[in-house]
Amino acid sequence: MASKLLIGIGVGCVVIGIGVTVAVVGGGWYLKHKVEQKYHEMSAPTVTQLWKDVPQMDKMSKSDMDMPVTMKIIVQPLMNRVLGQGKSSGDWIVFTTMQKPEDIKNFYTNERMTKFGNWDPSNKSTCLTGDSQGIPQVGLFCVFEKHQNNRQIGLAIITGEYEQNKALNVFFLRVDNPVETTNKSG
């Protein structure tokens, strides 16, 4: 059974792909103006290294790259408002690698994530390719989830489209959401 967080992250990734397509294909002064206005309103939190419960793949280097504007516009509200009903917090980090999205998928497996960071186990792959979802600008997106101390934590790993002999950007997005507890007495 898919949780709201995984569904939300999956939908968010699809929306990101659509947003990237609209930004690339669309355009126009109005869109540019609104994007720049929204960009300057945002102060997305970032981290300086991967979280302790997320392994770092060899041959991956931290990037000082900022999240693309389209992703900021879509991801930040998704992380802070939609998934957490205004109560969640989210942050992100970007890495670069010369490896392929398939290498990322083969490294960030359910088994490794469960053993390394106590992420919830799953019998199914939590990684999808952008091509399979009609979003070729997204090479791969993977989602993981865990529950700890009345918190629901989600992680999305998203790569750009793979181009041979060019560095691949790998985005790690994390959402930490309080879990509402209900007191059932009676």
Q: Which residue has the higher pLDDT, 67 or 144?
A: 144
When pLDDT is cut at 50, 70 and 90, the band that residue 1 belongs to is: very low
- Residue 9: predicted pLDDT: 60
Indicate the pTM of the whole model. 0.70
Residue 30 is part of which domain span? 4-178
Q: Is residue 86 part of a domain?
A: yes
Q: Is residue 184 part of a domain?
A: no
What's the total number of domains in the chain? 1
Q: Is residue 185 part of a domain?
A: no
**Could you tell me the end-to-end alpha-carbon distance of the chain, in angstroms, rounded to an integer?**
29
Q: Which residue has the higher pLDDT, 95 or 15?
A: 95
The answer to whether residue 6 scores a pLDDT higher than 80 is: no
pLDDT digits (tens, 9 = 90+) for 40-63: 444 455 788 999 999 999 999 998
pLDDT digits (tens, 9 = 90+) for 99-136: 999 999 999 999 999 999 999 998 888 898 888 888 77
Q: What percent of the chain has pLDDT over 90?
A: 28
When pLDDT is cut at 50, 70 and 90, the band that residue 64 belongs to is: confident
Q: Is residue 117 part of a domain?
A: yes
Q: Is residue 168 part of a domain?
A: yes
State the DSSP string of the chain.
---HHHHHHHHHHHHHHHHHHHHHH---HHHHHHHHHHHHH----B-SS--TTSPPPTTEEE--PPPPHHHHHHHHHIIIIITTTT--EEEEEEEEESS-HHHHHHHS-HHHHHHHH-PPP-SS--EEETGGGT-TTEEEEEEEEEEETTEEEEEEEEEE---TTSPEEEEEEEEEEEPP------
Q: Which residue has the higher pLDDT, 136 or 17?
A: 136
